[in-house]
Amino acid sequence: MIMYTDLVSTLNDLVRVNNDRSAGYATAAGQTDEPGLQHIFQSMADQSREYAFELNRLLKDMGSEEEVDTSLGGDLYRTWMDLKADFTANSDTSILASCEYGEDVTLRVYNMALTNEIEIPQHVLDVITRQYGELKLSHDRIKKHRDLNKAIK
């Protein structure tokens, strides 16, 4: 199989951002006592694990190794979330705001993948585009919950 260096790098970035997102939502689920939010956070973590698996399968099909790491930025952000939870009253509104920030980062990485100048085979582009659309819906869901939680507090 032909190895597309730029495409592999782009797919690795997408896998890492999904690994970051999954780990971030696992952290968020552990910081709230609200069962409804725990369920939402767990489903978002599961969604990103599924996306990472799907992207890794594409990497393997291209002859590349699977990406299993998270990004340094994501690791630092989760550490900051943990520290914030340790030293402040970590309200659900604050947790949801942190999740919305993570969703913004995820969408930016996907947008960069979709707008860069590399050649992306149609079947790979279809996967990235579908995931991007579904992630936009997830972002809107988190934003809606944040706004509702903010309004009732």
Contacts of 101 (CB under 8 A, 6+ apart): 77
Q: So what's the pLDDT on residue 28?
A: 92
Q: Angle at the Cα of 5 (from 69 to 10), degrees rounded to 5?
A: 50
Q: For every one of its 153 residues, what pLDDT tens digit does the chain have, with 9 covering 90 and above?
A: 444 789 999 999 999 999 999 999 999 999 899 999 999 999 999 999 999 999 999 999 999 888 887 665 655 555 556 555 554 555 888 889 889 999 999 999 999 999 988 999 999 999 999 999 999 999 999 999 999 888 886
Q: So what's the pLDDT on residue 91?
A: 83
**Angle of helix 92-115 relative to helix 35-61, nearest 10 degrees?**
20
Q: So what's the pLDDT on residue 77?
A: 53
Ordered by where they begin, the domains of the chain are: 7-152 (1.20.1260.10)
- The Cα 62–Cα 52 span in angstroms is 15
